[in-house]
Chains A and B, each alone.
Chain A
Amino acid sequence: MSGADHLPLRVRETEMISPLLKRFVFEAADGGELPPAGAGAHLRLTLEGEGRRWKNAYSIVSAPADRSHLSIIVRRVSPSRGGSAFLHEAVHPGAVVAAHEPGNLFPMSHIARKHLMVSGGIGLTPFLSYLEAIEATGADFELRHFCRDEEIPIFERILSGFDAGRITIHPASAPFDLSQALASQPLGTHLYTCGPEALMGLVLAAARDHGWPASKLHSESFGGAHAGGLPFTAILKKSGLKVAVRDDQTLLEAIEEAGLEPDCLCRGGACGVCLTSVLEGEPDHRDHFLEGAESASNRSIMICVSRAKTQNIVLDL
């Protein structure tokens, strides 16, 4: 997988959906057709700020069949030095942003007889493209969305174009209980969850408890959720570099800032592409890729999400 960002996109328009959520609509900078992006695909943008560069991935929320534009919804997250804040403040209609071809690590099952989606907060975004795809095929679905109480009207508005009878918005203040939904799904239903780690953990555990097989459970955690932690230093043996990883950036971002372009794809600890050997030091694993024993051996690290427990970590890069 190449790390090249060959897809220049022009911002066609932006819309403030709420004080924290902003929709960006992109078109190809050359005015042509955009590459295909299936439901659940994400777009990786290279954002050049003053003296800083971010590579952030956002779920595409526009209809997969429409090749004229791609839309994303960006939540402004603290710290305000992040890429999302940069998008909110500094990227305006007309601007051209470098992107990678859309990738998809969260595709819909083609054999599912029904799609049950459970999202939390901004984790709703991949399901907006699912809903577009479902609308086109008429597949059966149910969506359960969890959000902070005060954000209910915002998400109601975002979801207003879709079949309200099959969508339930749960206030985060209510006790978490999906038993009824999990116990009543027809055979052949696939469950997808996206949102904060804690929510996804609850959803997946509850589903297993109701006898759902792993083959019908799908989850996606989004990049940015992993940023942050204590600062540490990465020593890159092959390149002879010493990289200081700040508290507000990922190890991968820091390595990229230092001028390297290590292989990566999902930037969310799921795909396995960024696996790197650890020569010294102890990783703080935050990925979903390494198996228990592999993870415990501390000989490999997924640099897109994981950090270091030790002050220094020596990598084979």
Chain B
Amino acid sequence: MPVSGIVSRPTYEALAIDPAGRRHLFVADHAFEPDPGVFAALPSEAPVELWRALAEARVGSGAGPRANALARDFRSTTQLLDALAYRLERERVGLRLYAVGLESFVWDVARLARGLGMDSSEYRLSHVGSNRRRVYCVHCRAITENVATNVVACSGCGANLFVRDHFSRRLAAFMGFQIDAEAPGEVPPIEEAFP
């Protein structure tokens, strides 16, 4: 188990519920509909909630993944993460949290959960959707979102960043290093690397 803050690309397992939990909260950055089979291991009375950030607000659309599940929709992941922080501050031991979505989103959730006292045995991350990366510029520390290419112009300093496979769990981002520092303008062919 690596212990440094920067580890190589994380791996994810298929979404599975932890029946040891007393309450279960799913958070997703898209219109996620869990497969009903996911809940097979749970007693029917175990509380389940599903929170989703949807592109266009359909707040209150409310059809849960199963009869007693509570669904709550948000206008954006920012709003969802805000509500999640408020909720976790008031939560009690026994909760299990499941984050489903882009890597940047699930690690934002993990960072929030850790900050509020949960550890990795209490949350599970499931990466679905595109492989686009959130890139952290090691030079100016700006974040560039939704990066699909191996080289990207930093949103902060404009440097041509090469997107490494090194992922920081603390920043929920991949590291980007200036590729043409020695010979400005000398950039390798830009390819779509993270569809």
Chain A residues within CB distance 8 Å of chain B: 111-113, 182-189, 208, 210-216
Q: How many residues of chain B get a CB closer than 8 Å to chain A's CBs?
A: 17
- Report chain B residues within 8 Å CB of A215: 119, 121
Asked whether A216 lies within 8 Å of B119 as measured between CB atoms, the reply is yes
B111 smallest CB distance to A (angstroms): 14
For the complex, what is the distance from the CA of A214 to the CA of B18, rounded to whole Å?
Answer: 13
| Known interface pairs A186-B93, A213-B122; 15 further A-B residue pairs with C-beta atoms within 8 A, sorted by A's residue number | A112-B117, A182-B93, A186-B117, A187-B91, A187-B93, A187-B95, A187-B116, A187-B118, A211-B20, A211-B22, A211-B23, A212-B94, A213-B121, A215-B119, A215-B121
Which of chain A's residues has its CB closest to B90's CB?
A186
Bitwise interface map of B from 104 to 123 toward A, beta carbon under 8 Å scored 1, else 0: 00000000000011110110
Of all A-B residue pairs in the complex, the 5 with the closest CB atoms, nearest first, are A188-B117, A211-B94, A211-B22, A213-B121, A187-B117
For the complex, what is the distance from the CA of A199 to the CA of B119, rounded to whole Å?
Answer: 26
Asked whether B91 lies within 8 Å of A186 as measured between CB atoms, the reply is yes
- Report chain A residues within 8 Å CB of B96: 211
For the complex, what is the distance from the CA of A83 to the CA of B150, rounded to whole Å?
Answer: 69
Asked whether A188 lies within 8 Å of B116 as measured between CB atoms, the reply is yes
Asked whether A113 lies within 8 Å of B93 as measured between CB atoms, the reply is no
For the complex, what is the distance from the CA of A15 to the CA of B130, rounded to whole Å?
Answer: 69
Choice from B22, B23, B88, B117 contacting A189 with Cβ under 8 Å: B117
Which of chain A's residues has its CB closest to B21's CB?
A211
Within 8 A of A (CB), among B115-153: 116-119, 121-122
For the complex, what is the distance from the CA of A112 to the CA of B21, rounded to whole Å?
Answer: 19
Choice from B20, B23, B93, B122 contacting A185 with Cβ under 8 Å: B93
A188 smallest CB distance to B (angstroms): 2
Asked whether B93 lies within 8 Å of A210 as measured between CB atoms, the reply is yes
B41 smallest CB distance to A (angstroms): 14
Choice from B22, B91, B117, B119 contacting A210 with Cβ under 8 Å: B22
For the complex, what is the distance from the CA of A287 to the CA of B23, rounded to whole Å?
Answer: 33
Asked whether B93 lies within 8 Å of A211 as measured between CB atoms, the reply is yes
For the complex, what is the distance from the CA of A113 to the CA of B119, rounded to whole Å?
Answer: 12
A and B contact pairs by CB, cutoff 8 A, 14 listed: A112-B117, A184-B92, A186-B93, A187-B88, A187-B116, A188-B117, A210-B93, A211-B20, A211-B96, A213-B119, A213-B122, A215-B121, A216-B93, A216-B119
Asked whether B92 lies within 8 Å of A208 as measured between CB atoms, the reply is no
A109 smallest CB distance to B (angstroms): 10
For the complex, what is the distance from the CA of A204 to the CA of B118, rounded to whole Å?
Answer: 19
- Report chain B residues within 8 Å CB of A208: 20
- Report chain A residues within 8 Å CB of B116: 187-188
For the complex, what is the distance from the CA of A184 to the CA of B22, rounded to whole Å?
Answer: 12
For the complex, what is the distance from the CA of A113 to the CA of B114, rounded to whole Å?
Answer: 11
B117 smallest CB distance to A (angstroms): 2
- Report chain B residues within 8 Å CB of A216: 93, 119
**A183-B121 contact given A210-B22, A211-B21, CB 8 Å threshold:** no
A87 smallest CB distance to B (angstroms): 39
A106 smallest CB distance to B (angstroms): 19
- Report chain B residues within 8 Å CB of A112: 117
Asked whether B92 lies within 8 Å of A187 as measured between CB atoms, the reply is yes
For the complex, what is the distance from the CA of A208 to the CA of B20, rounded to whole Å?
Answer: 7
Choice from B23, B117, B122 contacting A113 with Cβ under 8 Å: B117
For the complex, what is the distance from the CA of A209 to the CA of B32, rounded to whole Å?
Answer: 29
Which of chain B's residues has its CB closest to A188's CB?
B117
A262 smallest CB distance to B (angstroms): 31
Which of chain A's residues has its CB closest to B120's CB?
A215
Which of chain B's residues has its CB closest to A116's CB?
B93
- Report chain B residues within 8 Å CB of A211: 20-23, 93-96
A205 smallest CB distance to B (angstroms): 12
Which of chain A's residues has its CB closest to B23's CB?
A211
For the complex, what is the distance from the CA of A206 to the CA of B95, rounded to whole Å?
Answer: 15
For the complex, what is the distance from the CA of A183 to the CA of B91, rounded to whole Å?
Answer: 10
For the complex, what is the distance from the CA of A213 to the CA of B119, rounded to whole Å?
Answer: 9
Asked whether B117 lies within 8 Å of A212 as measured between CB atoms, the reply is no
Bitwise interface map of B from 59 to 70 toward A, beta carbon under 8 Å scored 1, else 0: 000000000000
- Report chain B residues within 8 Å CB of A183: 22, 92, 94
